[in-house]
Amino acid sequence: MTNLIYNYHWKSGSYNPNGIKEINVPNDWSFDYEPDTTGNLPGQNQHFGRPRVDLVSEDFQQSPLDRQFPPNAYDNGKPIVNIYANWMPTWCRLSQSVAGDRANLIGEHNLQALVMLNVWDYWEVGSPARYPVHEKLAGEVRLVVRQVSETFANEWTTPWLLRVKPDDAVNYGQWINKSLHFEVPPWEVYFDLDISIEFRARWGNQNNGLLIAQVTLE
C-alpha cells in the first residue's frame, strides 16, 4: 500500500521554525511544545521546557542504553529524528497534515511509528556506568489522528505508552513498532487528517528523549 505521509524517510530536508537553531524539523512536518506556563502533571516538580530536535545518523552515540538501531531502519543512510530535553520536563509533538478527499482518505487506515523512549539519567560519555530511569512515568509516547473539516472533527488516539512493568509494551531503550488503526467515516468530501507522534516526560532527567525511525500511514 502507498504511504500517505510526506518525507517519511526524513531525507527531504529540514528547517528551523521561527529561526530556532536547536529545533531542526523535517520538511513537511511541524513541531510544537508545551510552554512553561502549562500546568504540571501529577508528581511533576519543574515546569516544562523547550526540547531540541535533531536528525541523526546510524552512528549516533548519545545514550548509555544497550541497543542498536533497528534492522532495516536505514535506507541508504536515512536519518532518525531525535527529540530530547536535558535536565527538564518536556511535552511536545511532531505532526503532519495530510490533505485529501473521499478518494484516498475515506475508510480504514493504519498509522504506524517505530519509536524508542530514550530516557536515562546520570551518565558520562565513555563511562561504563549506566543508570537508566526506572520510574514508569518518566517517559510516555502516543499516536494521535485528528480528522478536521469545516463542520466537525474526529479524534483517534492510542493510550499513553509507558513502562509499567518489565514485560509491558514500552521499555526505555527498546525499539517499539506502535500502531493506531482507525476508520474515517464518509461524512465529508474534503478534509485533512492531522497525524502526530506525541511525547512527554515529567521529570528533569539528564536525557528525556524520543527517537523516531519511521512513520507510515496506509
**Can you tell me the distance from the alpha carbon of 201 to that of 41, in angstroms, rounded to the nearest whole number?**
9
The pLDDT, as a whole number, for residue 175 is 79
Beta carbons within 8 Å of 121's beta carbon, 6+ residues apart: 131, 132, 133, 205, 206, 207
Q: What is the DSSP string of 100-118?
A: EEHHHHSEEEEEEEEEEEE
Chain-centre distance of CA 204, in angstroms? 19
Which residue's entry shows cell 548519545? 62
Residue-level pLDDT at 65 = 44
pLDDT 10s digits, 79-93 = 889 999 999 999 999
Of 29-38, 115-124, 188-197, where does the model show the most confidence?
Answer: 29-38
Amino acid (one-letter) located at 134 = H
Query: What burial class does residue 92 get, using C-beta atoms within 10 Å of its C-beta: 0-12 exposed, 13-18 middle, 19+ buried?
Result: buried
* DSSP per-residue string spanning 61-91: ----S---PPTT--SSS--EEEEEESSS-EE
User: What residues form DSSP beta bridges with 26?
Assistant: 14
SS3 24: coil
| pLDDT of the residue at 118 | 84
Nearest one of 43, 44, 18 to 31, comparing CA atoms: 18
C-alpha cell at position 143 = 499516536
pLDDT for position 174: 75
User: In this predicted structure, what is the pLDDT of residue 101?
Assistant: 57
Confidence of residue 153 (pLDDT cuts 50, 70, 90): confident
Q: Domains in the chain, ordered, with CATH?
A: 14-217 (2.60.120.260)
pLDDT in tens, 45-94: 999 999 999 998 755 544 444 444 444 444 445 788 999 999 999 999 99
All cell numbers assigned to 6: 510526506
